[in-house]
Chain A
Amino acid sequence: SQELEQSPQSLIVQEGKNLTINCTSSKTLYGLYWYKQKYGEGLIFLMMLQKGGEEKSHEKITAKLDEKKQQSSLHITASQPSHAGIYLCGADRGSQGNLIFGKGTKLSVKP
């Protein structure tokens, strides 16, 4: 069965610093989703990637899917306290038609 491995599990950065979160799949990714979650709340959709080599950006967050479609990265430029939260990657399971999720990366941003 497919598994998603996220790294690091947690991250503490100083405000203004850049950071990268990785999501690695044991199988080819057909659709890769990035979500953000504040503790005790629902998930907020960030971006979806489908094609090998695809890159999308929204404000200071950039997500990439590698050419082999087995790894994705989420990069935050000049981090701010508002970026703090848990970042989760999710992947389409193909014919089953639902998502499998990684365990999440907890991000803390120190002012």
Chain B
Amino acid sequence: DGGITQSPKYLFRKEGQNVTLSCEQNLNHDAMYWYRQDPGQGLRLIYYSQIVNDFQKGDIAEGYSVSREKKESFPLTVTSAQKNPTAFYLCASSPGLIYNEQFFGPGTRLTVL
């Protein structure tokens, strides 16, 4: 089946450690996105990528980094510079950037202890 996978579902890390969240899609979509969701805050855009080897900062990129070496993969690294990393992280993809439905993965809940 086509879709987006995120792993792991739950992730625990100690404060000060970098952690990488996985996002893979087999929908042959060009665009991919990372969002962060906090209670009562809705979704906020971290990074997005339109094509391989290219990505742009979203609204809250500080403390995060991404790469897009393959069309189907868009991993997100939460660095120790991110002051409040505990959150629910959602990855999405779409055929293009404009007027395109975004398909979402199941999310990864990161807890930093």
Partners in one complex: yes
Partner of B102, one of A99, A103, A104: A99
B104 interfacial by beta-carbon distance below 8 Å: yes
Chain A, interface size: which category?
A: 20 to 34
Closest beta carbon of chain A to B4's beta carbon, Å:
8
- Give the complex CA separation of A85 and B109 in angstroms: 18
Total chain B interface residues with beta-carbon distance under 8 A: 29
Partner of A50, one of B31, B88, B99, B102: B99
How many A-B pairs have beta carbons closer than 8 Å: the answer is 60
B90 interfacial by beta-carbon distance below 8 Å: yes
Closest beta carbon of chain A to B97's beta carbon, Å:
3
Task: Produce 1/0 per residue, B93-113, CB < 8 A to A.
Answer: 000111101111111010000
Instruction: Give chain A's interface residues, CB within 8 Å of chain B.
Output: 30-31, 33, 35, 40-45, 48, 50, 88, 90, 92, 94, 97-104
